[in-house]
Each structure stands twice: as C-alpha cells, then as structure tokens.
C-alpha cells in the first residue's frame, strides 16, 4: 500500500499544490521461480516508461520506488494553480505530468508491474484519508473539497504480446471524497501481467479510447510561454527546470472547492491519499 502525503498550499488565495510522498505497497505476492520467459515471466527491467509511449524510458521526477514481484513503481504528483468559479464552486485544473528527461508532458499516471509467475490478477484503488487540514492549525479545514479523475485508460508494451489481457478500468469520472475508497483498475486472472500504466488524460487525441486531448500548453496574452517558474516554485523540488519547462495543464485532473472556503486562512493544507495494489483473489 502506498500512503501519500497530499499538500495544499495557499501562499496567495487559491494557489494550490498537492505533493505526494510514497510509503508502501501491500498485497500478496508469490515468489518468482522457474526460467525467465519473454515479456512477463522473469525479472522486468526496473524503469519508468512514458505512459503514452511505453517503448520510451522516462524520468518523471523525484519519487520513492517499491520492490517485489507485484508492485507500484510510480505514483503521480497533483499540482493545481489555475482556477475559475462555476456554480458557487472553485474549480482548479491540475498540471500535467512533466519529465526531467526532456519528453513532452503527458497525462498523469500510476505505473504497476506484475512479474509473478502465477499471476492471479490485482486491483488498484485510491482512498483520501482526511479532509484538507491546515498543517499548523488543525482546526482549519477545507470542507467539501473533491478531487476528480477523468479519462482513465491503460497502456503497456505487453498489449502487443498477445500473452496477457488488458486490465479493466473505471470509465466513470472518479470524484474522490474523504474517507472513501475508489477502484481505478482491475486485472483478472491472466490480465495485467508485465508493466502497465494507468493513465489520467492524454497529450493528444487517443486512438485507443477515442478521447480528446486533455493536456495543453499555456501561454500569456502576448503568446509567450508560461513557464513553471511563473507557477509554483515547489515544482522545482521534483527536479524540473522551472526556468525552461513550459506549463501544461491536464483537464482530466481537477479539484473542486466550495466557494464558502474562500475565506479560509492561507497557508499549507494537507490530506493523505492511499494508493493500494492488492493481489486477487
């Protein structure tokens, strides 16, 4: 189980940052034994790949990693700083997935590897443990905040192998509320073997799902690029060059805050997300 710290920063009104610190994955994993076989039997290279082009190895920035035959290799950061008010709710759009290795931004993603010989399947779920709470004044709470994840899809080199089935994903918009658990993807027996990305949104039109582009670059009115340094400096903590990287937003990741919270005291707010990968049955 990966327990992730979510941070919400309001250095000025309605500027938000959600950062993730990885803990542990839980789930029953069988030992690897027998001879290695191409693609899903035997040890799989311990790398992170581009969720929209899985043949390409990438560096998505600082993140802890797990080991084991069934594991979560990577979980996304969520950062919000673009807002508008709709029906008495503040709606914020999340940043896309950036890379320190030079690739264009993509949809945010979770990467999973299943290299068990007897792979019986797995389930990936996410839970928000608490409401957003002020880091130093615990009585200050952002009530009713909802994190939404849309355009969920899967991608993998193993799709081409014909030796494993594709995991089933939740095709509905996932509205994450405090204290509730939500299933994002499920692999049944003989599904989800190898390395898989569970992706939220996409940088172009997606021929596999038919969904439209959700990731787009940002420009000032004079058509000059908006750089990460013009956003929030916390992005530099992940290893991104904030003086060169252009800002991209991903409409598949949004945060909704009731307008009644406009008067909340500025500062650091946080919650915890738990990403859980469980072996099945």
- What does the domain layout of the chain look like in residue ranges? 2-279
Taking residues 70-76, what's their average pLDDT? 92
Residue 270 in this model has a pLDDT that exceeds 80: no
- State yes or no: pLDDT of 197 exceeds 90: yes
pLDDT at 233: 66
Does the global pTM surpass 0.75?
Answer: yes
Give me the pLDDT at residue 5, please: 43
**Environment class of 140 (CB within 10 Å of its CB; exposed 0-12, middle 13-18, buried 19+):** middle
Q: Give residue 22's pLDDT.
A: 35
| pLDDT given for residue 29 in this prediction | 36
β-pairing, 2-10 vs 267-279, is: antiparallel
Does position 231 have pLDDT exceeding 70, yes or no? yes
Q: What is the pLDDT of residue 101?
A: 85
Q: Which residues contact 38 (CB under 8 A, 6 or more apart)?
A: 161
Tell which wins on pLDDT, 233 or 230. 230
Residue 180 has pLDDT above 60, yes or no: yes
- Mean pLDDT for the chain? 80
Integer angstrom CA distances of residue 75 from 37, 143, 276: 28, 25, 11
**Average pLDDT of span 198-218:** 91
Strand partners, 86: 89
Which residue stretches of 77-218 are H helix?
Answer: none
pLDDT in tens, 15-63: 344 443 333 333 443 322 333 333 434 578 889 999 999 999 999 988 7
Task: Write down the pLDDT at residue 256.
Answer: 87
Residue 193 burial class via C-beta count within 10 angstroms: exposed 0-12, middle 13-18, buried 19 and up: buried
Which of these ranges, 21-25, 146-150, 224-228, has the smallest mean pLDDT?
21-25
pLDDT at 122 over 90: yes
**DSSP per position, 192-215:** S-EEEEEEES-SS--TTT-PPP-E
Specify the pLDDT at position 10. Answer: 37
So what's the pLDDT on residue 91? 83
Contacts of 86 (CB under 8 A, 6+ apart): none
Pick from 259, 252, 247: nearest CA to 147 = 252
Give the DSSP letter of residue 11. Answer: S
Average pLDDT over residues 128-149: 85
Mean pLDDT, residues 191-218: 92
Least confident of 21-35, 96-110, 222-236: 21-35
Count of all residues that appear for the chain in the document = 281
Closest by CA position to 264, among listed 86, 142, 144: 142
The residue ranking higher by pLDDT, 79 or 149, is: 149
Residue percentage of the chain with pLDDT more than 90:
42
Does residue 160 surpass a pLDDT of 60?
Answer: yes
Average pLDDT over residues 244-269: 80
- Whether residue 217 has a cis bond before it, omega within 30° of 0: no
**Least confident stretch, 9-13, 108-112, 235-239, 270-274:** 9-13
């Amino acid at each position: 189980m990966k327990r992730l710290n979510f941070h919400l920063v309001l250095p000025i009104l309605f500027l938000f940052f959600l950062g993730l610190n990885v803990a542990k994955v839980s789930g029953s994993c069988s030992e690897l034994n027998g001879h290695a076989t191409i693609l899903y039997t035997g040890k799989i290279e311990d790398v992170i790949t581009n969720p929209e082009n899985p043949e390409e190895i990438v560096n998505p920035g600082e993140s802890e990693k797990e080991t084991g035959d069934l594991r979560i290799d990577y979980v996304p950061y969520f950062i919000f700083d673009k807002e508008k008010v709709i029906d008495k709710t503040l709606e914020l759009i999340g940043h896309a997935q950036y890379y320190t290795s030079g690739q264009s931004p993509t949809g945010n993603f979770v990467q999973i590897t299943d290299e068990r010989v007897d792979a019986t399947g797995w389930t990936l779920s996410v839970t928000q443990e608490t409401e957003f709470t002020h880091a130093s004044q615990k009585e200050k709470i952002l009530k009713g905040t909802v994190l939404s994840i849309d355009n969920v899809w899967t991608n993998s080199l193993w799709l081409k192998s014909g030796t494993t089935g594709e995991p089933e994903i939740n095709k509905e918009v996932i509205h994450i509320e405090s204290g509730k658990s939500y299933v994002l993807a499920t692999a049944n027996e003989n599904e989800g073997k190898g390395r898989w990305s569970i992706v939220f949104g996409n940088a172009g039109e997606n021929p596999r799902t038919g969904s439209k582009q959700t990731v787009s670059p940002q420009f000032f009115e004079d058509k000059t690029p908006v750089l990460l340094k013009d956003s929030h400096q916390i992005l530099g903590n992940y290893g991104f060059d904030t003086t060169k990287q252009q800002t991209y937003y991903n409409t598949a990741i949004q945060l909704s805050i009731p307008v009644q919270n406009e008067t909340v005291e500025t500062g650091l707010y946080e919650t915890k997300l738990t990403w859980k990968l469980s072996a099945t049955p």
